Structure 1
């Protein structure tokens, strides 16, 4: 069976071809002429780029001077201020230290108490040695003085420098350490 082409379909195709033929090269030629004319009339004006500034290197001469943020400088200033201060809490730095002043408090432990001649003594252990201490004695590296001895603790007053270089008091305590045998 053969089909015959429908006359309306052919008419539509012919009309489309005629429309496309009307858009020929004549419109494109007009646009090209107009573009060429605008190019001829337009003058380009570009400002010249300014000359770059000349670089003058900076010679850093402060390399030999002291760094203002150096910790040693701060410590030296604090030490100088501490020497010149009339602070009532300032410890005597020229005094001869007692034996237990050479050790920090966290290396010392209280292991017991005893009473001798009506006075209470604390038994302080350092490594494997036992020392007897009483109120008024010096202990620890922060200019500590023993204030009181009780059955459970040794109360200590330490004198330390704060961030501003002022001497301040602080309280510390060595508490009784229970032996391993009593825990069984």
Structure 2
């Protein structure tokens, strides 16, 4: 290759580079920027304003002769009023010494028989594997149960329990004789 061809090819290469750089010019970018300014200036913003907040007027509890409903004194006044109301006057004797069978719930106590000593009928009550003799006037169960009568087939117990309102009420329960499996053979 001659010197001249080499020089011509260099010029051709430089011209192609200049044409490529001319294509990357700023003319298209200028057009886009001009279009964005035009749209921005002609756009109308339609935002509805936020309404003013409602004013809150606090309630003032101004009744000085009434009890505040959120006060602890209201609860105390209601409890005092309930104490004055006659609830039948029935209350268990919590000051007396508990008997042994009062330590067991009544549903765990079974009547397994009766016996008579000195013309008094005793019931035989079983708790777990132990058997105890009881007569009318003794206590059984965890609800202040008093044995009112003993017959050959049942023991009547008067319990004192609290109802839903907190008043003491009487409840009558019966422990019936449990038939043994051996007597059926």
TM class by shorter chain equals: 0.5 to 0.7
Q: Is the 8 A contact 2:156 2:174 kept in 1?
A: yes
Q: Give me the whole-angstrom Cα distance separating, in 2, the residues matched to 1:162 and 1:138.
A: 21
Q: Give me the whole-angstrom Cα distance separating, in 1, the residues matched to 2:93 and 2:86.
A: 13
What stretches of structure 1 of length at least 5 have no aligned partner?
Answer: 1-43, 55-67, 69-73
Q: Give me the whole-angstrom Cα distance separating, in 1, the residues matched to 2:171 and 2:135.
A: 19
CA positional deviation for 1:182: 1.2
Is the partner of 2:173 in helix, strand or coil?
strand
Matches within 5 A, 1:30-179: 48-51=48-51, 53=53, 87-179=88-180
CA positional deviation for 1:47: 7.6
TM-score, reference length from structure 1: 0.56
TM-score, reference length from structure 2: 0.55
Residues 146 and 129 of structure 1: CA distance in aligned 2, closer, same or farther (over 3 Å): same
Residues 164 and 86 of structure 1: CA distance in aligned 2, closer, same or farther (over 3 Å): closer
What stretches of structure 2 of length at least 5 have no aligned partner?
Answer: 1-43, 55-69
When the two chains are superposed, the root-mean-square deviation of aligned CA atoms in Å is 3.0
Give CA-to-partner distance per residue, 1:112-139, whole Å, 9 cap, x none: 0000000000000011111000001011
Runs of 4+ deviating beyond 4 Å: 51-54, 84-87
Is the partner of 1:182 in helix, strand or coil?
helix
